[in-house]
Structure 1
Amino acid sequence: MSATRRQILARTGGSVAGIAFTGALSELFTGSAAALGRGAGYGPLVPDPAGLLDLPKGFRYQVLSREGDRLRSGEGPVPSNHDGMAAFAGRRGRTHLVRNHENAYDGRIAVPTARGLTYDPAARGGCTAFELDGRNTVLGERVALAGTAVNCAGGPTPWGTWLSCEETEDRTGDHGYTKDHGFVFEVHPADPLRTGAVPLIALGRFQHEAIAVDPRGGVVYETEDAFDSPFGLFYRFLPRRPLGGTGSLRAGGELEAMRVPGVPDLSAVQEPGTVFEGVEWVPVPDPLARRTPVRLQDYGPGGITHAQKLEGCYWSGASVCFVSSYAEAADGSAADHHGQVWKYEPHRRRLTLVVVFGPDTDVRLPGEAPDNICLAPGGGLMVCEDGDGAQHVFGLTRRGEVYPMARGAQNIGTPEEPAWGEFAGVTFAPDGGTMYVNCYTPGTTFAVTGPWR
């Protein structure tokens, strides 16, 4: 395969250009994120002499953890496939970091089983948790959830826990599993034994990706990254005990799927600013998918609305935003796109296509396949890229200015055909002074500090 322009830029240290983000970016930011950066970015990326992570001048990184190293707890090696992550405030200025490991049945390094924290001993995924001091020194690193499968993303709750999502529909007996998978698990960042390894079955059994919780009423929004057509759905869960704190989601509730009347596939919508009023929510007939996957169940004459590669999800002000990473008609989608960000306003039952990602003229340029997204404390978004060629964390301002914040430098290919692992799990410390981010392969967790605005 010939080198793409992205690969050439990565090898030469050139700046990233040619990204198109079209739409009303200001709609994605509220509160502290409304007053966005003055000038885009922090300058060009500087090649890292150590060959790990390229950053702008003035920024530096610490490697908190790498796959294959020993966990500080002594429970075994650091698992592979570092994915979704969130940071939580601890006591005495400390930070707790919870990290997913998206190990399937053939994952390279499994999450070690741990007493009281293991759901299915035959499964290799789960979560690990760090305790960091104010200088990002690792004070502790341990298993927080084990025996789960394909823990991709998730999301934090208003009461300070992490919801870890299994991106699979495998059943008992598949790949030697002893239990059904495809659930959400709650993880307490400081004391995982408080939450244990209990599936939140009322939130459904499907290929979960990410979650966002409405802090006003406790409604949980969920994305589904289904692997084949017809693709995943966008869900909301109405808990019986809204905002009840740790363990409250075990009390059950009602799972519903989003229906946009007349729109069976969101990929068919191509124009930023397109608005749909009167969005409907339809009860899921069988949330546990005992016989039929949730996305394929009968939702009545109006059908249901699908979308390919539903990934990142976050709450902003009075709205929930979610990402469709890409769509390809060849895979079964209605149309092609390089990434969309949608905004749903619950109080108005209104859905808006806010942003369309993509290269200006060349599909090989950066800017396609947005995955994990987080709000930056100083304003704007940080976007993890999951496409071909060089992999970046991009910053995105309210005015639509795009800048490279980080670039992976660990070549997992060959000198002739280089390749780089995707970024995942971007999140910020509670005080906003550190950006944490994972390289998926080889599994590496970075803490990035510098002159944040």
Structure 2
Amino acid sequence: MSALDRRTFLGRGLATAGGALASGIAIDTLGAHAAWAETGRTPPDPRRVGYGPLRRTPSRNTGEELLALPAGFSYVVLGRTGTPMSDGVATPIAHDGMAAFPGTRRHTVRLIRNHEVRTPPGSPLGRVHVPGSARYDELGVGGTTTLEVDPRSGEVVRHFVSLNGTIINCAGGRMLHERGWLTCEETTAGPAQGWQRKHGYVFEVPLNGPVPGRPAASMPLTAMGRFSHEAVAVDPRTGYVYETEDDSGKPDGFYRFRPRDPRNLAAGGVLEMLKIEGVDGYDCREGQRMGARLPVEWVTIDDPDPDLEGGAATCTQQGLAKGGAKFNRLEGCWYGDGSVFFNSTSGGDAKNGDAPGADGYREGYGQVWRYVPGRGRGGTLVLVYESPGRKELDSPDNLTFTPRGGIVLCEDDASSVDADPHPLAPGLANVNRLIGLDPRGGQPFELAVNIADDSEFAGACFSPDGSTLFANQLGSTAELDPPGRTYAIRGPWSRGPL
């Protein structure tokens, strides 16, 4: 890894004792984890993996039992739905993707958080909205909020709307050189669905600039594609932006955007879809072998901003028509060690029992992929992990690499024929967890369990100093209850693998 790569990696909040090996260890973790499942060997005793058994734990600042955590760990609740913010706006619903940056004050952290609001156009219920601000769509209900927090005390120094006028802001990724957050719309809705403008785009949220009462102007980056976006990751060496697609029930593509000017994404560029070299329509969703290296080429999306209202071919249809590879529900995306890692939430051979999609594909429990960019060539795609069943990992969404080389995966098991109860969460049929992967042997372990409701975990990210894991509980995307919450989790990280 070059000096630039290492600086970039450590600059993402992973600079701790031993952090210089973090990304490489994390890759080894995925490989070891895959080996247990592939060989059928008996994994290590779960009691000796991770941080030990979990217990129902009350929040330090509210007293509510919302999470189950290992002994010695604690958490505070930040930015609960309905809480008045510094700009006078009530904290919106549907807390989703998020990133952590150094704060403007000593010991503080700045969080930029998505809100996947799915209410009708213009609905006031849980809306991300600042009257009179520069909004792309006057009826937009989604957007982002920014929180300046002190993770030691749990104090929210200030919080405010940082972008509005968008819809269904699901995940995203950090901008080049940590200049801010790229927030993504997980939809292709438009005027036909009651909105004033077309949607399905990526938007920029600058780290500096938005202040209480003055959100950033929401301007779509149309050249980056109009499709059901999930997350992005930026390669710091090239400025290329890698994008995942999550259009449930249909084959999805993995994209890259080659900007004309990496510092100015609005200047345009070329959108492409991944294709397995020499094979049209390669199906990555099932029948794959972990560790196999698949050579990659890229096909151009000729019309990245299609007139879907006029019947134009979608970005996905364009890419698949040129032989693009098929995935299922691509979600979390992360750059490290010169590679891009991304989750296929419902890929894999072990099936969850849900009804098949429109093309007959039956959902699996999830896959983790690694794309290694090529030097002058298309690169290589590797399946580094595939879940054998719900107990080990059920529907991975966001992912993050940790300060000391572990991995945290956010589960998004919203519903399934295969119920997923948990002894620490009686009464819940589909329980979501934060799953850690131990770099010492690749064994998965439960790091946290949402015992409050059945909504997904999202937005996991570490503070720049590595002391605090932030994570969101989505809550409802269309109602005030259950509420969205942001957690700041602290504990004896050095006693375990993360």
Q: Please indicate the TM-score interval, normalised by the length of the shorter structure.
A: 0.7 to 0.9
Q: Calculate the TM-score normalised by the size of structure 2.
A: 0.77
Q: Residue 54 of structure 2 contacts residue 448 of structure 2 at CA under 8 Å; is this kept in 1?
A: yes
Instruction: Could you tell me which runs of 5 or more consecutive residues in structure 2 were left unpaired when the two chains were aligned.
Output: 1-18, 30-47, 59-63, 416-429, 476-482
What is the letter of the counterpart of residue 115 of structure 2? H
Aligned to 2:335: 315
TM-fit CA distance, 1:326: 0.6
Residue aligned with 2:191, SS = coil
What is the letter of the counterpart of residue 435 of structure 1? L
Q: Calculate the TM-score normalised by the size of structure 1.
A: 0.84
Q: 376, 379, 388: which one pairs with 2:405?
A: 379
Instruction: Could you tell me which runs of 5 or more consecutive residues in structure 1 were left unpaired when the two chains were aligned.
Output: 1-28, 412-419
Aligned to 1:354: 384
TM-fit CA distance, 1:336: 4.6
Q: 68, 80, 84: which one pairs with 2:93?
A: 80
CA distance in 2, matches of 1:181, 1:43: 45
CA distance in 2, matches of 1:444, 1:268: 35
**Equivalences for 1:388-399 in 2 at 5 Å?**
388=415, 389-398=430-439, 399=441
TM-fit CA distance, 1:222: 0.2
CA distance in 2, matches of 1:267, 1:35: 26
Instruction: Indicate yes or no: 2:311 matched with 1:295.
Output: no
CA offset digits 1:15-50 (Å, max 9, x no partner):
xxxxxxxxxxxxxx984243469x731111111242
Instruction: Indicate yes or no: 2:155 matched with 1:137.
Output: yes
Instruction: Indicate yes or no: 2:133 matched with 1:116.
Output: yes
**Equivalences for 1:28-107 in 2 at 5 Å?**
31-35=21-25, 40-49=49-58, 50-74=64-88, 76-93=89-106, 94-106=108-120
Q: Residue 163 of structure 1 contacts residue 185 of structure 1 at CA under 8 Å; is this kept in 2?
A: yes
Aligned to 1:163: 182
Residue aligned with 1:447, SS = strand
Aligned to 1:410: 452
CA distance in 1, matches of 2:208, 2:55: 36
Q: 228, 232, 239: which one pairs with 2:249?
A: 228
Q: Residue 273 of structure 2 contacts residue 319 of structure 2 at CA under 8 Å; is this kept in 1?
A: no
Aligned to 1:17: none
Given the superposition, is the C-alpha separation of residues 207 and 42 from structure 1 closer, same or farther in structure 2, using an over 3 Å criterion? same
Aligned to 1:342: 369
Which of 330-339 and 139-148 deviates more?
330-339
Q: 361, 366, 369: which one pairs with 2:395?
A: 369
**Equivalences for 1:241-320 in 2 at 5 Å?**
241-242=261-262, 244=263, 248-260=264-276, 261-262=278-279, 263-277=281-295, 279-290=296-307, 291-297=312-318, 302-320=322-340
Aligned structure 1 segments of 4 or more residues deviating by more than 6 angstroms: none
CA distance in 1, matches of 2:363, 2:207: 39
- In percent, how many aligned pairs have the same letter? 40
CA distance in 2, matches of 1:358, 1:114: 49
Aligned to 1:205: 226
CA distance in 1, matches of 2:362, 2:449: 30
TM-fit CA distance, 1:268: 2.9
RMSD: 2.2
Q: Residue 378 of structure 1 contacts residue 452 of structure 1 at CA under 8 Å; is this kept in 2?
A: no
CA distance in 2, matches of 1:386, 1:189: 28
Aligned to 1:178: 196
TM-fit CA distance, 1:61: 0.5
CA distance in 1, matches of 2:455, 2:469: 18
CA offset digits 1:390-440 (Å, max 9, x no partner):
1110111232111111111213xxxxxxxx211011111111111000011
TM-fit CA distance, 1:96: 0.8
CA distance in 2, matches of 1:436, 1:336: 29
Instruction: Indicate yes or no: 2:443 matched with 1:401.
Output: yes
Q: Residue 163 of structure 2 contacts residue 216 of structure 2 at CA under 8 Å; is this kept in 1?
A: no
